[in-house]
Amino acid sequence: MEIFDEKDEEVKRLMLRISRKEITLCDSCDTFFDYIPRKISCDGCMKAKARERRQRPEVKERMREYHREYNQRPEVKERERKRKREYEQRPEVKAMRRERYQRPEVKERRREHYQRPEVKAKKREYYQRKKKLREEE
């Protein structure tokens, strides 16, 4: 405490609070935060470090792999299907979709899409497969 001037009351008060373990100084950004044992960085710095860690390629790949496996579970697939079905049955969603598909630019885009040769071939293949299944029954 002898380093500081006697008239600098604010600094003295801060130093006193630090010595009483009421507040702590962040190691990275030099801001004060409430004292928690063994915590050396404030919440903002902790979030920034976590964000940096998530941006590393090896961490991204590991997370991608985990989510890929998780989303293939039958219970997860069923839950997502159910959620999507419930969402699509809402009246406001139906009205929004109906309104969207009535727009001329959307109609034109859909018409162009279905005129593509690869789309026509896929539709024809689907139709033939269904027809064959019906005949077998």
Do residues 68 and 82 share a domain? no
60 & 101 share domain: no
The confidence score (pLDDT) of residue 15 equals 87
Round to whole Å and give the CA distance between 19 and 37.
Answer: 13
- The yes-or-no verdict on residue 71 having pLDDT over 60 is yes
User: Do residues 76 and 83 lie in contact, with contact meaning Cβ atoms separated by under 8 Å?
Assistant: no
pTM exceeding the 0.75 threshold for the entire prediction: no
pLDDT, tens only, 19-70: 999 999 898 888 899 999 999 999 999 999 999 999 999 999 999 999 999 9
Q: Is 2 in the same domain as 66? A: yes
pLDDT in tens, 89-105: 999 999 999 999 999 99
**Is the Cβ–Cβ distance between 14 and 33 less than 8 Å?**
no
pLDDT band per the 50, 70, 90 thresholds, residue 6: low
The number of folded domains in the chain is 2
- Its domain, for residue 43, covers 1-72
Contact 122, 129 (CB under 8 A): no
Residues 60 and 5 occupy one common structural domain: yes
Statement to judge: residues 67 and 84 lie in one domain? no
User: Do 53 and 89 fall into the same domain?
Assistant: no
Tally Cβ neighbours within 10 Å of residue 40. Answer: 12
124: pLDDT strictly greater than 90: yes
Residues 86 and 54 in one domain: no
Residue 18: inside a domain: yes
Q: Are residues 82 and 36 in the same domain?
A: no
Q: What is the pLDDT of residue 10?
A: 84
pLDDT band at 1 (very low <50, low <70, confident <90, very high): very low
Are residues 32 and 95 part of one domain? no
